[in-house]
A and B are shown apart, each in its own frame.
Chain A
């Protein structure tokens, strides 16, 4: 799992590549922390290359969402595949995020 962060002035694009399972979630914890610091901006989570997500991954999404709300930022989830959309649906996350 890789989290590739691309920052511009008022926008951060974070690309998630690979399986976001429990170990992966732990592995990217530091990168996630840096994203949280940018939560006053618009963060685009690019999921085009994310093939899997577990509850730990969902927790990262939720943490970011809460941080953005606190800091006045904005989270956009982009290009999730149908299987992951199903997981979002099962957990009610479809309603928590702006998904493009």
Chain B
């Protein structure tokens, strides 16, 4: 890949990564916004609910306190007339208080305190009745020097105002000995003179229980303060009369808010506000208690109110973060996959490029110029190879050596690159072995040994090897497990083959060869199973019958193959090609029929017999109406060949014969010179260098040189104890 392409690719990747990131950010923002809205409304709802709950509790507490207050006030007012009556009978005064305490469970203590000097015999008189822990009543006189009841507020205030008075909370030392509040009313005698004060005490322990008894939130603090700002029920739950709210305001972090709260509560307002309490942001709800001038407040830490929603919010946030993390992970893995895919694609392109080159190399291994032998008129052949993939395991090959056509077709097991490598090896092996071996049976055996020897991957090759003697039409062949070829003679038939095993399975196997004679115009058609097993979309195979039918008609080899390719393509249709397809068509045209005459001349090994040649040649020349120059050349070639036999075939002094057979065809003259002398191959003589000067020129060697120059084919063979020299001249 070019550097520029790489940069562009990187930019594309960067841009898509950026787009992905933006997508994540937008998604995150949308998610957060919706959560915030939800959170806001939830918080608002929860806040409202908290306010409602606080109000409800304040209301409940207030009404309970009011009940107690009312009960106490009623009890006191109901006892007023008795107290007034008892002024006449001082001995009965304690009974007023006793009855008041007995009849009213909320009242812990009561007294009737006489105005000093009202009854001269009793200058100070205040019999006190109260309940201790048990329910029994205790009587006690408050007319002691230490207690000095006339100076107590509960005594002075009602007399001053002439009305009922609720005291500030106090610990009644020398009295009830408990934290209490007192309601006191003035008692006037029948003359209307102030005579005494009637009181009823309420224990603040009871109030504490009431106030602290219920908490709307686990960490809520309920506080009750008095008219003067004293803690009746403090946040700790106990009364601390000596401390006023003002005293503790300074200790609070949020003193300003506390001051404000204190003022609001002291002035009898109700409402809510926010402040910091014990280091926690809190909400405070407050409301006055009727008639007493008390005020109650509930301080709830925000964490209590909003704890759950914050917890939920936190969980939601956590989930969102996790979700976003997942999205990022997914996106990044997606991006990675894209990158990998891109890389794979690049690799694929590189592989495809290499495969393309490999295909070129593979195709260059098989002959693919057609017609392959344009100068020959004894042979018309064509071949085609169509791999299913870029490279395939099919092969064919052919070449001519010593007037023999060596050809083969093969199919390596498997497909693609591995098969193509074995194909290359097989083709090379064929060339190597057949270079010095003309018998297909031996070629196949030797190839098998070579291929089996290095076959570690258990690949095998079905193979058909043929050697066609172009002079005689004799075809010897050996089939190693390949599809039998079709032979086109008078009809179209399958060539009879021995089903040997394919090549490469085991060393040392024997292969059986076969032979047949081809006549002029016979043809042989070889193919691989990519043809007969070609499948259409319905999984129907092309089959042998279709093969036979497409071979009908007289066509050139090339047209035959083109026609077959078209027919197969039509048959297969859209179905993908499943196997390599290889075709090889050989049309034999050399061995002439009976159209020409056959001539024979037998000579003895006497050089003067050469004189018989001109007449013999002339007869043939006349038959074919050859030009004088051609006739002379043929005569010359024949004379040179025959001279060789006469002079060298038989040992000097021995007599021998030689036979010349001439076959005259439409397009060729064929001469076969045979003798039974010593094996002698005249074609093995070294070539004469015709460019040498006369000084270097040797006397010998000119004869065979002339034969080669004049004849189109020259072939020597030692067969059946005979020297056979065949000369062919195309005319």
Chain A residues within 8 Å of B, Cβ to Cβ: 19, 21-23, 26, 52-56, 58-59, 62-63, 65-66, 69, 82-83, 86-87, 90-92, 95-96
Contact = CB atoms under 8 A, between A and B. Distances in A.
Nearest to B702: A55
A86 B629 contact: yes
Contacts of B705: 55, 90-91
B706 A91 contact: yes
A21 B643 CA distance: 10
Contact of B608 (A23, A53, A83): A23
B640 A92 contact: no
A63 B709 CA distance: 23
Contact of B639 (A21, A63, A90): A21
A90 B18 CA distance: 82
B596 interface: no
The 3 closest A-B pairs by CB, nearest first: A92-B690, A55-B702, A55-B703
Contacts of B710: 90
Given A52-B636, A55-B703, A96-B693, 14 more contacts: A22-B607, A54-B640, A55-B643, A59-B699, A62-B694, A62-B697, A66-B694, A69-B694, A86-B633, A90-B710, A92-B688, A92-B689, A92-B690, A92-B692
A23 B607 contact: yes
Contact of B706 (A19, A21, A90): A90
Contacts of B608: 23
A68 to B, nearest CB: 9
Contact of B643 (A56, A83, A95): A56
Contact of B636 (A54, A59, A92): A54
A55 B608 CA distance: 15
B643 A96 contact: no
B691 interface: yes
A19 to B, nearest CB: 7
Contacts of A69: 694-695
Interface in B635-672: 635-636, 639-640, 643
A91 B709 CA distance: 9
A58 B699 CA distance: 9
A89 B695 CA distance: 18
A96 B635 contact: no
Contacts of B611: 21, 23
B610 interface: yes
B614 interface: yes
Contacts of B692: 92
A66 B702 CA distance: 16
Contacts of A22: 607, 610, 639, 643
B706 A87 contact: yes
A97 to B, nearest CB: 8
Contacts of B721: none
Contacts of A91: 688, 690, 702, 705-706
Interface in B593-619: 607-608, 610-611, 614
Given A54-B640, A91-B705, A21 B610 contact: yes
Contacts of A21: 610-611, 639
B632 interface: yes
